[in-house]
A = this chain, B = another copy of it.
């Protein structure tokens, strides 16, 4: 099938783009004589990173755990909350504003409190990742659940099925494309979430390492750490996208209708 080949081709372009960016960066640092503590050359970042791989890997492992658990929690709780908000008027009027408020309160400011309340363990980190990333899921899911065509809802209701079944068979599949935009935004946020949690409430992990490196003005290692956490975030994002591809093969945005919009190459 062409799909596999297309994915490979896609990835070639992506790789090329990133390679180009790194090349320009390397060259610019060289040409402009930028000091390494301001912006290290990518080559230096790489060398340093490989040189201290064990430390970095340790940190990455420590960070991965709260990031993944927090994200999964965000997906589960986010969808659940969205359900309550979308289908119950009283929840919409009481719970939703609280959720919005929860989202808006800068978690980074309250993070230290978490540490005091929950100690230095996994819990405060998971909670922070969760709090930082659940909201996009709620918002997109609420919007998705509430915008199913009335025609389709009528068709479903006419079968005499209860709201539960209507949800599973109609609203959920219909909502998936929008839902996944929320999942993706959240996935992208969860790396930041884990890092922030470790800045303020942890004694291990990449965020923790990063604080140390920047404190010592070890910019190459700081960049290496940022690179690794970003790659972890990207991996999660890519995984969510892969699931999306499998879960919604039918969506309009994936149909390869023959001509694109007129005027587009």
Contact = CB atoms under 8 A, between A and B. Distances in A.
Interface of A: 10, 13-14, 16-18, 21, 38-39, 87-90, 93-95, 97-98, 100-101, 103-110, 112-113, 116-117, 135-136, 139-140, 143, 146-150, 153, 157, 162-163, 166, 177-178, 180-182, 184-185, 188, 191-192, 195-196, 199, 210, 214, 222, 225-226, 229-230, 233-234, 237, 251-253, 255, 257, 260-265
A82 B237 CA distance: 18
Contact of A237 (B89, B104, B252): B104
Interface of A is mostly: helix
Top-8 shortest CB links A-B: A104-B233, A146-B253, A163-B263, A106-B192, A13-B93, A106-B195, A17-B94, A14-B97
Contacts of A210: 109
B251 A147 contact: yes
Contact of A253 (B93, B147, B157): B147
Contact of A184 (B97, B139, B148): B139
B17 A98 contact: yes
A259 B219 CA distance: 61
B181 A252 contact: no
A75 B196 CA distance: 25
Contacts of A10: 93
A73 to B, nearest CB: 18
Nearest to A229: B106
Contacts of A252: 146-150
A191 B255 CA distance: 38
Contacts of A135: 185, 188
A140 B180 CA distance: 10
Given A98-B21, A178-B178, A265 B88 contact: yes
A94 B14 CA distance: 5
Contacts of A180: 143
Given A112-B214, A157-B261, A188-B103, A143 B18 contact: no
